[in-house]
Structure 1
Amino acid sequence: MSGLQSLLDHAQDDAATSDSTLAGLDGDLRANPPTAPDTPAPDHYRIRTFAEWKTHAPTTAQPPVTSEPASTPPTALTPGQNLALPEEAWEGLTIAFRFGGADADLTLFLTDAQGRVASDQDFVFYNQPSAAQGAARLLGKEIHGTRTVERAAVHLAALPEHVQRMTIVINMDVDTGLTCGALTHAELDIGCVTATWTFQPPSDPAIRAMVIAELYRHRSPDGQPVWKLRAVGQGWADGLDGLARAHGVHVG
């Protein structure tokens, strides 16, 4: 009995010690309650639908797609029609004469308001492809199949003040003796970064040089300076020589 009594005595001591330890732990838990998770723990074994998988599926990064600005269809002009050019045209204007059937050349006259050049230096043609320090210049010809295109570049804002008008001319190759009636698919395109205009000159067998269009200074109703474009389509029977004399160019 003494052994049993000793065992009971020690068990009571251990219980008291355990109760004290548990009581302390319980107090600590009350003082520092565990923080509840914001979201439930993920269930890695849950079956997901295809739509959910597709939504969260990793994707390969793609470079941003840049699109070219949409090209605006050219505005067709009729003989005698004129319009005010946008300001963008002052900084850069491209002229392209497209044709087939025979050879022809693009020519520019930089004149005063009366259509006369200040000097022979204001005459731009195949033997003098630039004027006004490059503000008006020919860019050469290119052959595309059965057709030819000759281009010119004009910087209206850089033209000297004495140039009030620029006359855009085509003239037939003098060695062939052909007239403008020999040209096929003849078309003049004038454009800037925001707009393009096109004009189809008449096929006239009686002339060898033709004024296709003019660029000229003008004053708007509120007095602001503007550049205007006019389609013409009229010519000279005696070709480039007669046209040059009419614009004040000395022809030897």
Structure 2
Amino acid sequence: MTGISLNKGGNISLTKAAPTLTSLVLGLGWDLRTTTGADFDLDASALVLGADGKVLSNAHFVFFNNKRTPDGSVEHSGDNLTGEGAGDDESITVNVSALPPEVDKVAVIASIYEADSRGQSFGQVRNAYVRVVDAANGSEVARYDLTEDAAGETAMLFGEVYRNNDEWKFRAVGQGYASGLTGIANDFGVQL
């Protein structure tokens, strides 16, 4: 089953679309458009943010070297070095029912590992997407396909799961960063 397809800036109430949702999987996937033969490694990561828009702590920056938050409510599946094969290349599980009350949103990011030294950007990536899947039954609730050209950008804020009163929602963001993962991390208060 395919979920609701979102455009950039669009959002969906996960609580209304999947009333029994307690845990979700943010699946990211991509294909390479062009390659120089060099390895091309995209990495998914998540930032667990408070109401001030900053990470709760450095331990709330979830990526291949820090696979879970201290309370285990957000967990990374592990690093896929090539993006080969069908389906999600990397995923992040968010147990929304276990997120502490101070969590306002979980931002999901994809970045290109060593993009500058390899001369790579999102302009060389095609069919990039993020999808929200109900972890309990595997059904896709929502999907955002990145369509715009991001020729100079090395990291992308794909979307965010956020709390709105008593509801959990997902927003398709699609904001590129030429400053890579470091630039996004700095913007959200991660101390590198």
| TM-score bucket of the superposed structures, by smaller chain | 0.7 to 0.9
- Correspondent of 1:152 among 74, 83, 92: 92
Query: What letter matches 1:178 in structure 2?
Result: Q
List, as ranges, runs of 4+ consecutive aligned residues in structure 1 with deviation greater than 4 Å. Answer: 141-144
Deviation at 1:148, TM superposition (A): 6.6
Q: Structure 2 CA distance, aligned partners of 1:163 and 1:124?
A: 14
Describe the SS at the equivalent of 2:169: strand
From 101, 108, 115, the counterpart of 2:46 = 108
Taking the TM superposition and a 5 Å limit, the aligned residue runs for 1:91-102 are: 91-101=22-32, 102=40
Q: Any conservation in 2 of the 1:236–1:243 contact (CA below 8 Å)?
A: yes
Quick one: structure 1 residues 100 and 85, their matched pair in 2 at CA, closer, same or farther if it must change by over 3 Å?
A: same
Aligned to 1:85: 14
In the TM superposition, what is the alpha-carbon distance from 1:103 to its structure 2 partner? Answer: 2.1
Does the residue aligned with 2:71 lie in a helix, a strand or coil?
helix
Q: CA–CA distance in 2 between the matches of 1:186 and 1:214?
A: 16
Q: Are 1:191 and 2:136 matched, yes or no?
A: no
Q: 2:111 aligns with which of 155, 171, 175?
A: 171
Cα distance in 2 for partners of 1:145, 1:217 equals: 33
TM-score w.r.t. length of structure 2: 0.83
Deviations 1:70-128 (CA, angstroms, capped at 9, x unpaired): xx322111000011112322x11011111121321001000112310121011001110
Asked whether the equivalents of residues 46 and 92 of structure 2 are also in contact (C-alpha less than 8 Å), the reply is no
Residue 74 of structure 1 is matched in structure 2 by: 3
Please identify, of 112-121 and 229-238, the stretch whose mean Cα deviation from structure 2 is larger: 112-121
What is the TM-score when the length of structure 1 is the normalising length? 0.64
Q: Per residue, is there more strand in 1 or in 2?
A: 2
Q: What is the deviation of 1:195?
A: 4.5
Greater RCO structure (CA 8 Å; 6+ sep): 2
**Local SS of the residue matching 1:216:** strand
1:177 CA drift (Å):
3.5
**Code of the aligned partner of 1:171:** S
> Does residue 242 of the first structure (1) align with residue 187 of the second (2)?
no
What is the distance in 1 between the residues matched to 2:154 and 2:113?
9
Structure 1 equivalent of residue 101 of structure 2: 161
Q: 1:148–1:76: structure 2 CA closer, same or farther, 3 Å change rule?
A: closer
Q: How far apart in 2 are the matches of 1:133 and 1:177?
A: 37
Q: Deviations over 1:150-187 (max 9, x none)?
A: 11111011011111111011111125331111112212
Larger radius of gyration: 1
Secondary structure in 2 aligned to 1:212? strand
**Residues in 1 aligned to 2:143 and 2:88: alpha-carbon distance in whole angstroms:** 16
Cα distance per residue 1:37-59 (max 9 Å; x no partner)? xxxxxxxxxxxxxxxxxxxxxxx
Q: Is the 8 A contact 1:85 1:227 kept in 2?
A: yes
Tell me which residue corresponds to 2:36. Answer: none
The residue identity in structure 2 corresponding to 1:105 is D
Structure 1 gaps of 5+ residues are 1-71, 220-224
- Cα 1:151–1:114 shift into 2, 3 Å: same
Structure 2, gaps ≥5 residues long: 33-39
Pair 1:78–1:176, CA change in 2 (3 A): same
Q: C-alpha separation between the residues in 2 aligned to 1:141 and 1:82?
A: 28
Greater fraction of residues in helix: 1
**How far apart are the structure 1 equivalents of 2:57 and 2:131?**
28
Aligned: 1:208 with 2:154: yes
